[in-house]
Structure 1
Amino acid sequence: MNEARKQRISSRLAAVDDALVALSNRLHEDPETGWQEHRSSAAVAGVLAEHGFAVEHPYLGLDTAFRATGGAAHPRFTAGFLAEYDALPGLGHACGHNLISAMSVGGAIGLAEVAGDLGIGVEVIGTPAEEGGGGKIELLERGAFRELDFALMAHPAPVDVAEARPFAVAHWHVRYDGRAAHAAAYPERGTNANDAFLVAQLAIALLRQQLPAGVRVHGVQTLGGEAPNAIPERTEGRWYVRAESMAQLLELEQRVLKCFEAGELATGARLTVTPESQRYAEMRTDEEALDLYRANAIALGRDFDVDPIAATMNRASTDMGNVSQVVNAIHPYIGVGGDASNHQPEFAAACVGDRAEQALRDGATGLAWTALDVALVRSAS
């Protein structure tokens, strides 16, 4: 009986294949960054509305978030597919969020084909600003996801990896305010904010030797001065601290902050550190559901026997980790092939075309089949 249902899902997905590919391509051609995904969120929500879902857009006061509902009117079990559609500044969809949206939309449409008869509710929640803005955390705090029994999504990567093991992460905006002066005529009148950043970066570089294995500290300076003959009065940057768990992150943050404080102490420039989002948590994977996904993906011809070096995208931080702390969840990775890796321009190119489209089909099918399996197992128990 379940195989017959999975065949119905596959047939439904075949019927909407052109629409899913067109959605992925549309997002890819028109990338929008976090909190600005107005056209992207409308496009994703629009495809769901065209295929029978009731759509709330905006959702919970966030302009580029949405919630689409389908399946059983009074469900015993509700599966939620999460859609991401924000792009990277300057790199477009070099993390493949165009495919994430298309896979989640496809998974939901496929599951809805059989959900009504089985008492299964189907939702798609459009989540803005995953790339550092913490859109899912904002939605969580406003009450999203908590009515779900199971949350799932799939993320593009160079190769297939079943289990996500993301770092917890803090995102900071760092600013030093000094005092401008002529660098040759009156240097003693200036307070060099660029030197403050230099001291901080040197301190962080030295700190790395004493940090636990697996911890990551990295960032960029986005403003460093205006002219070589003027002492910079303001510098800015964006920095991330990553750790294996939220508990470890909270401890290590203080050590990194002291490095930035060293820049302030050494130069006299005033330091301001502002969180860009709330902290992303580590992933709490639903192991039973992950086993079901793995079996379904293998049945579709996906291969998890891959080069471990190519598989490390599963360590990338995600606000899906915060969702997994309150809802049973999985976040597998699906390979698009090639030599490029996420956040490279070449990976953006790999997220369209024949191989990407096959990953889209397999991802949507694997997610829908897995949601069906999980729903049947847990609604019967």
Structure 2
Amino acid sequence: MARRPTGCPVTTDLKAEAGSVVQDRSTDLIGLAAALHADPETAWQEHRSCALVSGFLRDSGFAVIERYLGLDTAFHATFGTGAVRVGLCAEYDALPGLGHACGHNLISAMSVGAAIALARVAARLDLTVEVYGTPAEEGGGGKIELLDRGAFTGLDLAMMAHPAPVDIAEARPFAVSHSRVTFQGKAAHAAAYPEHGVNAADAFTIAEVAIGLLRQQLPPSVRVHGVVTRAGEAPNAIPERTEGRWYVRAETMAQLEETEQRVWRCFEAGAQATGCTLSIEPESKPYCDFRTDEGTLDLYRKNAKALGRTFATGDDAARMNRSSTDMANVSQVVPAIHPFIGIGSLPALNHQREFADHCVGPDADRAVLDGSTALAWTAIDRFAHQVPPALPKETP
């Protein structure tokens, strides 16, 4: 598809050059997305994925720090020495049992594509282009860990684009907490000595029933959901230990904290009724609600439309943009956008096996190239006012 950048002459020239980089490297970028898709790795285990993405950037002229800030599957790649710092976040963790059913393989390829496009014009925009390899978005809070260790500080803009069934410009994710819940009881022979057991499976049953009843009194801006990951060892033994993972989502951090207390009381009810002990431990710090840089998002909308993309409206637009992300925590610290880019997957939706199947193929390939280009063009529009026209080009 022909790229038709618009704007003032200087901006138009820069965008045309950045777009040509994406086209020239299209086979490589699509190949990167496909390779990640074929070898999914889950949170904190993304060793091959991290090496693949960071290696692509190193081969493209970026300086790469591996094991960034002490995290084994994080990296930081930079190009240029400009005063304006633009960061792109690459996610590459997959879902347990579902592979890349949220399309993080495409996120990495788009962020890398935008970065190498911006590297071509970095000197003329006074940019330092930075790519952050961010592990464990699916529940582990990799970006939060990086934030706590000093990453992202001082960025002028942070960006990424996330695959979805349709294009949606504005991310409005729920704040979310991720917790590991454990009930500890006492084992006994289920037929001969059942009265000597303390049933940890019953504790979870009571808690889940209580949560189901609580949902009647929860506002529509709240979600509570989870899975039991250990329910017992044998049908003829009273389960002595059960474990689960539970998420609580809400519109704001204040509402999240209030809702958590009500949910925890449901688990406490299970413990009290059965005599089990209860442990609730956070898997990461909570993901925040998102603070969008509206001016930059307007630029992204215009650039995506210039590439022929159409944004969804109505219910289609009100669904996927509510998914939670640790990119929201980054948005609380630096200006940020997190648009969703469609891959034509309907009726397949994120976190379904069928969606993973759509994260390779012609529509996914187009998303890689359009997302790379739209993000690069957005940064150019955002910072083109300071272009010093006499500076030489830099080629990654």
TM-score, normalization: structure 2? 0.94
Q: Please say if residues 69 and 149 of structure 2, whose CA atoms lie closer than 8 Å, have aligned partners that are also in contact.
A: yes
Q: Does 1:201 align with 2:208?
A: yes
Q: Name the residue aligned to 1:129.
A: 136
Shift in Å at residue 329 of structure 1?
A: 0.1
Q: Please say if residues 77 and 379 of structure 1, whose CA atoms lie closer than 8 Å, have aligned partners that are also in contact.
A: no
Instruction: Measure the CA separation in 2 of the matches of 1:263 and 1:69.
Output: 51
Q: Name the residue aligned to 1:362.
A: 370
Shift in Å at residue 311 of structure 1?
A: 4.9
> Secondary structure, in 3 states, of the residue corresponding to 1:198?
helix
Q: Name the residue aligned to 1:12.
A: 21
Q: Does 1:284 align with 2:297?
A: no
Aligned residue runs from structure 1 range 1-381, under 5 A: 1-71=10-80, 73=81, 75-306=82-313, 308-309=315-316, 311-339=318-346, 340-377=348-385
Aligned-pair identity (%): 65
Tell me: CA distance 1:273–1:305, structure 2 relative to 1, closer, same or farther (3 Å). Answer: closer
Q: Please say if residues 128 and 136 of structure 1, whose CA atoms lie closer than 8 Å, have aligned partners that are also in contact.
A: yes
Letter in 1 for 2:255: Q
Shift in Å at residue 223 of structure 1?
A: 0.8
Number of aligned residue pairs: 378
Instruction: Measure the CA separation in 2 of the matches of 1:310 and 1:331.
Output: 14
Letter in 2 for 1:344: Q
Q: Deviations over 1:342-374 (max 9, x none)?
A: 000000000001110001100000000001111
Q: Which structure 1 segments of 5+ residues have no match? A: none
Q: Deviations over 1:76-121 (max 9, x none)?
A: 2111000000000000000000000000000000011111122111
Shift in Å at residue 42 of structure 1?
A: 0.5
Letter in 1 for 2:276: A
TM-score, normalization: structure 1? 0.97
RMSD of aligned Cα (Å): 1.2
Tell me: CA distance 1:186–1:125, structure 2 relative to 1, closer, same or farther (3 Å). Answer: same
Instruction: Measure the CA separation in 2 of the matches of 1:160 and 1:138.
Output: 29
Shift in Å at residue 379 of structure 1?
A: 8.2
Letter in 1 for 2:40: P
> Secondary structure, in 3 states, of the residue corresponding to 1:206?
helix
- Larger mean Cα displacement after TM superposition, 154-163 or 7-16: 7-16
Letter in 1 for 2:249: R
Shift in Å at residue 9 of structure 1?
A: 0.5
Shift in Å at residue 185 of structure 1?
A: 1.1
> Secondary structure, in 3 states, of the residue corresponding to 2:121?
helix
Q: Please say if residues 174 and 237 of structure 1, whose CA atoms lie closer than 8 Å, have aligned partners that are also in contact.
A: yes
> Secondary structure, in 3 states, of the residue corresponding to 1:94?
coil
Letter in 2 for 1:10: G
> Secondary structure, in 3 states, of the residue corresponding to 1:323?
helix
> Secondary structure, in 3 states, of the residue corresponding to 1:139?
helix
Instruction: Measure the CA separation in 2 of the matches of 1:148 and 1:261.
Output: 43
Shift in Å at residue 162 of structure 1?
A: 0.1
